[in-house]
Structure 1
Amino acid sequence: MNRKLEVKDLITIGVYTAIYFVVFFMCGMLGYIPVFMLLIPFICPFVAGIPFMLYLTKVDRFGMVTITGLICGIMMFLTGMSWPPIFTGIGFGLLADFILKSGRYQSAGKTVLAYTVFSIWLMGAMLPLYFMRDSYFAAMIPTYGQEYVDILMAYTPAWSFYALTVTAALGGLFGALLGKSVLKKHFIRAGLV
């Protein structure tokens, strides 16, 4: 079987990435409330797990999830986030592609694991909050106001980055399980059960 990406694969990537990103982005709007910023790493992958798991029933070529990660990272950058999601999108997309390939694109367990790992890409958007803290918060003040920044700083001590990374993986895991159960007939048809 030819494993090179074809035009139909690129169309599949485009359609499902657009759906995933819209759902993901809408959930990310909760970040306008400071306390919900800490829930985004769980909520976004959890809710977006349904369309992404449907997408994974269509993935049968290496590189499809990596391209999705790249597109999502670029979209985050274009919508006002910083640049790290581009690289985390590529990195975790590549890891997910290797996981899917190791299951020959037919393993339900590897599909769940791939989405769990891929979901960590969103932590790229959180990197500046922890590792470029002063400039990140200074840039937020004109848009969000000092009160929002003070609350967010209080809720995000340095150790919370690691907790949020685990939370993102858990959001991905539970989102994958939710997506798999909601889309069970698609998994059966794709031979992933």
Structure 2
Amino acid sequence: MKEKKLKIKDLVTIGVFAVIYFVVTFAVGMIGVIPILFLIYPTILGIVSGTVVMLFMAKVQKPWALFIFGMLSPLIMLVGGHTYVILLHAFAVMIIAELIRRIGHYNSFKYNMLSFAIFNTWICGSLMQMLWAREKYIELSMMMGKEYVDILIKLITYQHMALVYLGAIIGGLIGANIGRILLKKHFIKAGIV
């Protein structure tokens, strides 16, 4: 199978979907105002964003499209003041997600679903900053107040993060299946895919 290369049109599509995805990520991230909800943030993000990402994968079935798409939000977050952890974590996650997608030749629902489940764990890096770049993350979070930071310090442990990653994967699988239903029901009928 000869691999298709990304074209300008594909890069524009990546940009458009990345903006939509970032808005969804930011909106869902607002639940983090209540610290305990940070632990379910990746799960909810996977459920809510599954349709966007599955539609993106249906539209752009080419190598490295998902990787580029997936790296844009962490780059924006890094520029916005997050630590290097979010970018390195996302880089590793996106490589794995891209490789899984490649196994399914970019058009298999099963492999796209598994790819999205892994893709969705990139946001766990925003919490892993508390463990891998603690001082910088505490400094960033201080605008929310000392009480908020103290709660985060107690909440974000390696044990809790194992559950957060599991939740992110489960949320990704649920979101991918919701996306599949909506793709069949609405987007394919409308001729969008």
Provide the C-alpha distance between the structure 2 equivalents of 1:92 and 1:31, rounded to a whole number of angstroms. 22
- Corresponding position of 1:46: 47
The residue correspondences of 1:1-193 to structure 2 (distance < 5 A) are 3-141=4-142, 143-185=143-185, 186=187
**Do the aligned residues in 2 keep the contact of 1:48 with 1:175 (CA within 8 Å)?**
yes
| Higher share in helix | 2
Structure 1: give runs of 5+ residues left out of the alignment: none
Aligned length: 190
Q: What is the Cα deviation at residue 58 of structure 1?
A: 1.0
Q: What is the Cα deviation at residue 109 of structure 1?
A: 0.7
Cα deviation code 1:144-180 (max 9, x no counterpart): 1111112222222331122211111111111111111
Which letter maps to 1:89?
A
Structure 2: give runs of 5+ residues left out of the alignment: none
Measured at CA, do residues 74 and 139 of structure 1 come closer, stay the same or move farther in structure 2, by a change above 3 Å?
closer
**Do the aligned residues in 2 keep the contact of 1:130 with 1:161 (CA within 8 Å)?**
no
Which letter maps to 2:73?
C
**Do the aligned residues in 2 keep the contact of 1:69 with 1:92 (CA within 8 Å)?**
no
Cα deviation code 1:9-46 (max 9, x no counterpart): 10111111111111111101111111111111111121
> TM-score under structure 2 normalisation?
0.88
Measured at CA, do residues 165 and 187 of structure 1 come closer, stay the same or move farther in structure 2, by a change above 3 Å?
farther
Which letter maps to 1:151?
I
Measured at CA, do residues 152 and 10 of structure 1 come closer, stay the same or move farther in structure 2, by a change above 3 Å?
same
Measured at CA, do residues 28 and 139 of structure 1 come closer, stay the same or move farther in structure 2, by a change above 3 Å?
closer
Provide the C-alpha distance between the structure 2 equivalents of 1:2 and 1:136, rounded to a whole number of angstroms. 41
Provide the C-alpha distance between the structure 2 equivalents of 1:89 and 1:150, rounded to a whole number of angstroms. 26
Q: What is the Cα deviation at residue 122 of structure 1?
A: 1.1
> TM-score under structure 1 normalisation?
0.88
Q: What is the Cα deviation at residue 135 of structure 1?
A: 4.4
